[in-house]
């Protein structure tokens, strides 16, 4: 029988005990207990069937010790109980914001044997120190596992990493058979990737957010200069009426930027025609954040829709109505066309957002994915661009050079420039790739394997 002890009584300890209580069977070869230093309580741990036990007794009995304690206290704990931990399998569940506050670093500090860094990893020589550790359960949230029901149809996925294959297999077996988790073993060389899984916003999200915020800042500068400064719009209308223009502009440009890396990648593949040739790092990073760019842009689109619905009246948008002095006036052809394209494009983008959800994306076939993020995406961009164009054609564009706005072109025109360029770039890519493929066939050059 494998005996496991959770050291700590916090939320994660409670969550792990809960998983054990709803998944472990009486015929299991695993036993779990919960303890901590100076524990002054007996019985079961909350509403689970996991017993609370004496700290010293638990350390003697346990084969596996799960450290569900704060990362700041981990090093001191290991130093204080070094002798009792020797020979045990130690499980680190922490996610520290500061470096060197994990179990691996704590064991290195007390170890008399130097770390083996010859292969670039931070492995501890367990054969000499007696310490075998496993990084586990740090990529699942306490709330998620506490809300887990016994009849759940799916398993919670988690990753583990260890300096000992034997230790990893033991902890993995316990997690899968007695806790109902779906475990993926990660090589020790990738330890740093999962060490602080919950403490990162993600490089892709940060890149996408700052990119779109940069676009928003540029649109706001132009918007403020043209409307409140040059045209004299009252500042009282800035929070909704004026800002809504920049919100819409940012959403449109964000969706256009999202399409650019895919087009570049297709041209790159067609031009080099060598599957062993790697793409430049900047292009790979650009491709990696497409989903995040699209979702941040989708947020701006949703805000634009809400703001437009709040503002939509003949008092704000008289140019969309046949008679601006008649409150019962119907919309012009431009107005109806604009909102038709806007409705079509928005709904398509919401479909794209739904398809980006892991539970939906994983169920899609390759053909479905290619269709949704190919023709559907480009159709949505065309509809969004047409939505803006209908608000400028025959309304403001013909008034050039716009002397009442300091000769600054209207936003409906400026905001269409990038989408036009991206759509033209896509058309060029399609023709360019077809020409290269045709040329390759004529020269009897093999395509991609």
Give pLDDT tens digits for 50-75.
Answer: 999 999 999 999 999 999 998 888 88
How far is CA 375 from each of CA 331, 339, 347, 371, 391, rounded to the nearest angstrom? 31, 21, 15, 6, 25
How far is CA 390 from each of CA 333, 336, 345, rounded to the nearest angstrom? 9, 9, 14
Q: What's residue 117's pLDDT? A: 42
The secondary structure element, H or E, covering residue 35 is: strand 30-35
The secondary structure element, H or E, covering residue 162 is: strand 156-162
The arithmetic mean of pLDDT across residues 318-345, rounded, is 92
The arithmetic mean of pLDDT across residues 12-24, rounded, is 94
Do residues 150 and 22 make contact, with C-beta atoms less than 8 angstroms apart? yes
The secondary structure element, H or E, covering residue 310 is: helix 290-311
Q: What is the pTM of this model?
A: 0.78
The arithmetic mean of pLDDT across residues 76-92, rounded, is 90
Tell me the pLDDT band of 116, cut-offs 50, 70 and 90.
very low
* Angle subtended at Cα 403 by Cα 221 and Cα 318, rounded to the nearest 5 degrees: 80
Pairwise CA distance, residues 61 & 409, whole Å: 77
Poorest-confidence range of 92-101, 167-176, 239-248? 92-101
Question: Residue 83: is its pLDDT beyond 90?
Answer: no
Pairwise CA distance, residues 55 & 8, whole Å: 10
Q: What's residue 7's pLDDT? A: 95
């Amino acid at each position: 029988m494998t005996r496991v002890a959770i050291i700590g009584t916090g939320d994660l300890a409670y969550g792990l005990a809960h998983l054990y209580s709803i998944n472990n069977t009486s015929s299991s070869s695993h036993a779990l207990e919960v303890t901590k230093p100076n524990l002054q309580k007996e019985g079961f741990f909350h509403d689970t069937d996991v017993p609370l036990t004496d700290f010293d007794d638990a350390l003697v009995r346990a084969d596996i010790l799960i450290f569900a304690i704060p990362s700041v206290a981990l090093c001191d704990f290991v130093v204080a109980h070094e002798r009792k931990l020797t020979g045990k399998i130690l499980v680190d569940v922490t996610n520290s914001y500061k470096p060197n506050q994990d179990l691996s670093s704590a064991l290195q500090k007390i170890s008399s044997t130097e770390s083996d860094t010859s292969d670039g990893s931070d492995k501890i020589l367990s054969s000499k120190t007696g310490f075998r550790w496993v990084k586990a359960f740090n990529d699942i949230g306490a709330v998620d596992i506490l809300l887990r029901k016994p009849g759940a149809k799916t398993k919670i996925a988690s990753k583990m990493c260890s300096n000992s294959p034997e230790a990893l297999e033991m902890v993995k077996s316990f997690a899968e058979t007695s806790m109902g988790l779906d475990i993926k073993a990660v090589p020790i060389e990738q330890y740093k990737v999962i060490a602080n899984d919950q403490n990162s916003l993600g490089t892709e999200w940060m890149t996408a957010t700052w990119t779109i915020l940069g676009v928003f800042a540029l649109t706001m500068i132009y918007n403020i200069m043209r409307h409140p400064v040059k045209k004299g719009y009252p500042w009282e209308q800035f929070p909704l009426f004026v800002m809504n223009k920049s919100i819409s502009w940012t959403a449109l440009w964000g969706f256009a930027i999202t399409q650019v890396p895919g087009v570049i990648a297709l041209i790159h593949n067609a031009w080099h025609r060598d599957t062993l040739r790697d793409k430049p790092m900047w292009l790979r990073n650009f491709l990696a954040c497409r989903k995040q760019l699209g979702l941040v842009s989708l947020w701006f689109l949703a805000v634009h829709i809400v703001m437009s619905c709040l503002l939509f009246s003949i008092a704000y948008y008289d140019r969309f109505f046949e008679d601006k002095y008649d409150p019962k006036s119907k919309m012009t052809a431009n107005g109806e066309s604009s909102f038709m394209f806007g409705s079509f494009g928005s709904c398509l983008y919401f479909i794209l957002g739904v398809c980006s959800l892991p539970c939906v994306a994983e169920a899609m076939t390759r053909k479905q994915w290619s269709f949704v993020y190919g023709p559907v995406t480009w159709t949505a961009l065309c509809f969004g661009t047409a939505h803006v164009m209908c608000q400028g054609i025959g309304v403001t564009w013909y008034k050039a050079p716009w002397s009442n706005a300091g000769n600054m072109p209207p936003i409906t025109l400026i905001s269409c420039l990038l989408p036009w360029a991206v759509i033209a770039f896509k058309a060029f890519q399609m023709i360019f790739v077809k020409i290269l493929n045709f040329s390759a066939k004529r020269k009897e050059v093999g395509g991609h394997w």
